[in-house]
């Protein structure tokens, strides 16, 4: 089996370990792009959580050979130890609160403190992911699991990783990643109800693994209620970065005759195509693989870029983090060239970045003006998702003040020569 596995994984990242006196290897899978751990030990139900935590913090991965449900309990135990470690210092004292709750004497100092708190939070998230990612599982060539009391996750893995190739051999991934696959499988199977799409059962979006789910409905409602021309059937709209396709579908439901939806991500394109078919709007939507804009002009161009200008640590985080505001600025700077003379760009953006000290309102308005655009109006809504009301969330102070807006943008009219 070892030789076959090595041959099957020759063109992919591999993970290596010793078992039963043999050198073993398998294909390494990591959605967040983590390198395969260099130190791997076998672990089972006899290992204590304290030992597992120490090894994981040291960078040693635990390839599980015990009961599947006990592995889940081990993962939960590691999470509790991470939380306990974060809440106390080396002497067992609670660290001083910093960042969001600090009081400063100027808006600049307050913004700097908020940004510092955000980056500390991101570092803690990354460390948590690294430690929890050290509990590993082995998958057969068909993605089957052989642990006691393990679920049949073959379909969930196939949907995320693709159908296993003949003779591909075994692979290894973190248990945390598998649980994410299973959760995504359930979301995709059951779908997310979107009120703006109309009556059930034709109002569900089915998100794919790795494609951002439209759980936050307030930004969708903004697109569903923004002013349209009296004859929407004569309009053409672009949906830039369509993702699941939810906004393109809403535009069709509002009567817009032709919608072009674009994305670069293969999973998003497949997801959007599936949702358009399920919602029976495919005849009105043209799906294109494109970096932002398709060819041509449109009367309405919608974009819901990632809201936070920070670096993503995994592919799915690209839906939330936009390093250097690259997508935001790309949309703004390309908008004038793709709008019809009376067309509008609809920019959907939260002000969470402002409350986190990552971008100011002045910087946003300056970027709009620099792109040759003017703000015709903006519609605001207060988010009602669970984290906005969770006082224990590390970003609560910022989330509780968050507003999501739809900015209606048009090209600045050029002065007529005298």
pLDDT at position 100: 47
Same domain, 207 and 147: no
pLDDT at position 9: 43
Same domain, 182 and 249: no
User: Is residue 406 assigned to a domain?
Assistant: yes
Final residue in a domain of this structure, among 133, 166, 186:
186
User: In 231-356, which residue ranges form alpha helices assigned H by DSSP?
Assistant: 246-253, 266-278, 326-335, 352-355
pTM for this structure? 0.89
Same domain, 398 and 381: yes
User: Is residue 418 assigned to a domain?
Assistant: no
User: Is residue 285 assigned to a domain?
Assistant: yes
Same domain, 102 and 215: no
Final residue in a domain of this structure, among 157, 186, 215:
186
pLDDT at position 393: 77
Same domain, 86 and 196: no
pLDDT at position 111: 85
Q: What six digits make up the tokens of 104?
A: 């400063």
Same domain, 245 and 141: no
Final residue in a domain of this structure, among 138, 170, 186:
186
User: Is residue 416 assigned to a domain?
Assistant: no
Chain segment 200-255, per-residue pLDDT in tens: 888 999 999 999 999 888 999 999 999 998 899 999 999 999 999 999 999 999 99
User: Is residue 368 assigned to a domain?
Assistant: yes
CATH number at residue 404: 3.40.50.150
Same domain, 179 and 198: no
Chain segment 95-118, per-residue pLDDT in tens: 554 444 444 568 788 888 888 989
Cβ distance 350 to 304 under 8 Å? Answer: no
pLDDT at position 49: 97
**Residue 367 to residue 371: CA distance in whole angstroms:** 6
User: Is residue 95 assigned to a domain?
Assistant: yes
**Residue 107 to residue 113: CA distance in whole angstroms:** 10
User: Is residue 244 assigned to a domain?
Assistant: yes
pLDDT at position 167: 74
pLDDT at position 98: 45
User: Is residue 347 assigned to a domain?
Assistant: yes
Same domain, 157 and 220: no
What is the domain extent for residue 374? 192-411
**3-state secondary structure at position 343:** strand
- Which parts of the chain have pLDDT scores under 70? 1-10, 87-105, 415-418
Number of structural domains the chain divides into? 2
- For the sheet containing 404-411, what is the strand order? 285-289, 258-263, 236-240, 298-303, 339-350, 404-411, 373-381
Largest CA distance in the chain: 89
């Amino acid at each position: 089996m070892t030789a076959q596995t090595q041959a099957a994984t020759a063109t992919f990242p591999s993970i290596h370990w010793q078992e039963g006196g043999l050198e073993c290897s398998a294909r390494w899978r990591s959605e967040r792009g983590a390198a395969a751990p260099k130190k791997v030990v076998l672990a089972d139900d006899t290992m204590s959580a304290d030992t597992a935590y120490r090894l994981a913090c040291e960078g040693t991965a635990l390839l599980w050979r015990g009961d599947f449900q006990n592995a889940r309990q081990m993962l939960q135990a590691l999470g509790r130890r991470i939380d306990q470690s974060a809440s106390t210092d080396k002497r067992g004292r609670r660290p001083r609160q910093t960042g969001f709750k600090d009081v400063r004497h100027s808006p600049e100092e307050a913004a700097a403190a908020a940004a510092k708190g955000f980056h500390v939070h991101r570092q803690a998230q990354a460390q948590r992911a690294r430690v929890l990612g050290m509990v590993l599982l082995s998958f057969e060539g068909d993605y089957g699991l052989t642990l006691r009391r393990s679920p049949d996750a073959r379909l969930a893995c196939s949907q995320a990783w693709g159908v296993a190739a003949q003779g591909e051999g075994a692979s290894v991934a973190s248990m945390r990643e598998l649980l994410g696959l299973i959760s995504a499988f359930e979301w995709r199977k059951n779908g997310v109800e979107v009120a703006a799409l109309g009556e059930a059962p034709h109002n569900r979006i089915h998100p794919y693994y790795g494609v951002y789910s439209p759980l936050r409905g307030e930004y969708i409602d903004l697109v569903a209620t923004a002013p349209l021309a009296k004859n929407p059937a004569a309009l053409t709209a672009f949906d830039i970065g369509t993702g699941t396709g939810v906004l393109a579908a809403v535009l069709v439901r509002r009567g817009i005759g032709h919608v072009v939806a674009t994305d670069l991500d293969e999973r998003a394109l497949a997801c959007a195509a599936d949702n358009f078919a399920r919602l029976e709007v495919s005849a009105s939507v043209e799906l294109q693989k494109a970096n932002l804009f398709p060819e041509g002009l449109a009367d309405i161009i919608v974009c819901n870029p990632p809201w936070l200008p920070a670096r993503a640590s995994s592919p799915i985080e690209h839906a939330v983090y936009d390093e250097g505001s690259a997508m935001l600025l790309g949309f703004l700077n390309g908008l004038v060239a793709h709008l019809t003379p009376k067309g509008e760009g609809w920019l959907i953006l939260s002000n969470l970045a402002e409350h986190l000290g990552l971008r100011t309102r002045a910087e946003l308005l300056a970027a709009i003006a620099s792109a040759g655009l003017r703000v015709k109006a903006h519609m605001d809504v207060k988010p009602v998702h669970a984290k906005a009301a969770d006082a224990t969330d590390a970003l609560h102070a910022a989330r509780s003040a968050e507003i999501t807006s739809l900015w209606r943008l048009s090209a600045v009219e050029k002065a007529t020569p005298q």
